Amino acid sequence: MNPTAQQLTEWDKRYVWHAFTQMACYEPLIIESAEGCELIDIEGRRLLDGVSSMWCNVHGHCHPAIDAAIKDQLGKVAHVTNLGCSNSTAIRLAKRLSELTPGDLDHSFFCSDGASALEVAIKLAFQYWHQCEKPQPKKTTYIGFEDAYHGDTIGTISVGGVDQFNAVFKPLMFPVHRLLIPDRRVPDEASACTYHLQVLEETLQQHHETIAAVVIEPLVLGAAGMIVQPHGYLRGVRELTQKYNVLMIADEVAVGLGRTGKMFACDHEEVVPDILCLGKGLSGGYLPMSAAIATTEIWNAYLGEYGEAKQLCHGHTFGGNPLGSAAALATLDLFEEEQTLAQLPAKMARISEHLTRLKEHSHVGDVRQCGMIAAVEIVRDKATGEHFAWTDRHGHQVCQFALQHGVWIRPLGDVLVIMPPLSVSLPQIDQLCAVIAAGIEHVTHTKGHSR
């Protein structure tokens, strides 16, 4: 006998430990099925998936092509280890990624999630400097950015910079050189790029002999509040890392696979990092699948005789899983078959139109957009940029309002994220943005803050 909705709700609160959630305050939202850009909960309520099920769904839920690819693979083999073994589907995916990624990013180390891919990249960079053609074993630290998020492993929280998430784990973390967020608004839009690159170069000048890599989210810092970097900054980072002989790790887990309007965020400024990390949308948001993709120079440093022990001693049980690989191949096929990227400019323009209107609200301090990634920042005082008390949870209240009006979104504090699947329609964009606008008005008005 199937459990009732009430039983599922009670069990969810009692037995399931949810990520980044205070379970004493948790109110369940239980999804039973999905279709296209809509989620369907256990009560049959349909909700527009306004954040791509945590920034990962690309072509919509239950897409027949991806479903068919997984079912076809399931009829062959569900899992094969990649420790001393391989499978044809993962091999085809690795070749496809080699052809798709810029430059000579030809060598994919498959993992299960974005954090795992970044953890691999951190270790790859560290070990590379011990066994490259001209070893520099003093290169043992990294450059990261304030409020950057790269995952929740010890390595990724060390190079990340979200104090709210990491403070309790500080004794476990290794030290890094942490720079200011490269925000396009600081000190102002005209000088932001030059300013932030100068800060980076000063750090590299002083410490390049001990720095293994710069770890960066290209174009947009996600968990920091969808902070958009100044134009030209990413290209400048690549030039400086090359100038000072430091590796560049590009974390495209959230911003890759079409989110910025191009297949990869690095494509916007013609940058080829030393290691490119993908996840989330790699499998269309279907299955755990990620990759750390390295250049041939990195790859060559790991080749040698068995006795030299140059191999990377790192692995994941489900790395290169055939089901995830099948979903990824189908996802990449759909980009071509449905001309996904060609359809994005109209959708990006529609989001921009709504952001222009939202920016006029007296409690919207800033709106930000990079392709299909957008954010609306709620403030107490528009003139000063003063925020509401974080304990008031205005962003959460707007999301609760949205839930009551057929839209599911999740905030970053008082920053409302707009990141629907790339397959979203123009009417659905209108619905998403209209509900957010109404939610902001409702929450700020009911709290005694008028327009």
User: Which residues are documented as binding site for substrate?
Assistant: 149, 280, 315, 410
Cα atoms in the 13 Å half-sphere on the side-chain side of 46: 7
H or E element in which residue 335 lies: helix 322-337
The alpha-carbon radius of gyration of the chain (Å, integer) is 22
* Adjacent-strand bridge partners of 366: 377
Span between the terminal Cα atoms of the chain, in Å:
52
- List alpha helices for 359-425, DSSP H: 394-404
Give CA 180 to chain center in angstroms.
19
Structure tokens at 9: 């709700």
User: In the structure encoding, which two tokens stand for residue 149, read together?
Assistant: 């998020």
Q: Which two tokens stand for residue 366?
A: 């800033």
Instruction: Identify the CA nearest to 418 among candidates 371, 356, 357.
Output: 371
> How wide is the angle at C-alpha 47 spanned by C-alphas 389 and 420, nearest 5°?
75
**Distance from C-alpha of 146 to C-alpha of 149, rounded to nearest angstrom:** 9
According to DSSP, residue 251 is labeled: E
- Integer angstrom CA distances of residue 228 from 332, 355, 373: 26, 15, 10
Show the CA angle centred on residue 354, arms to residues 332 and 401, nearest 5°: 90
CA distance 435 to 429: 10
**Largest CA-CA distance found in the chain, in angstroms, rounded:** 72
Residue ranges at the known binding site for pyridoxal 5'-phosphate: 114-115, 251, 316-317
| Length in residues, the chain | 451
Helix (H, G, I), strand (E, B) or coil at 58: coil
State the Cα–Cα distance between residues 372 and 243, nearest whole angstrom: 33
Closest CA to 378 of 443, 434, 433: 443
CA-CA distances (angstroms) from residue 435 to 45, 51, 103, 130?
16, 14, 42, 54
Per the annotation, binding residues are 114-115, 149, 251, 280, 315-317, 410
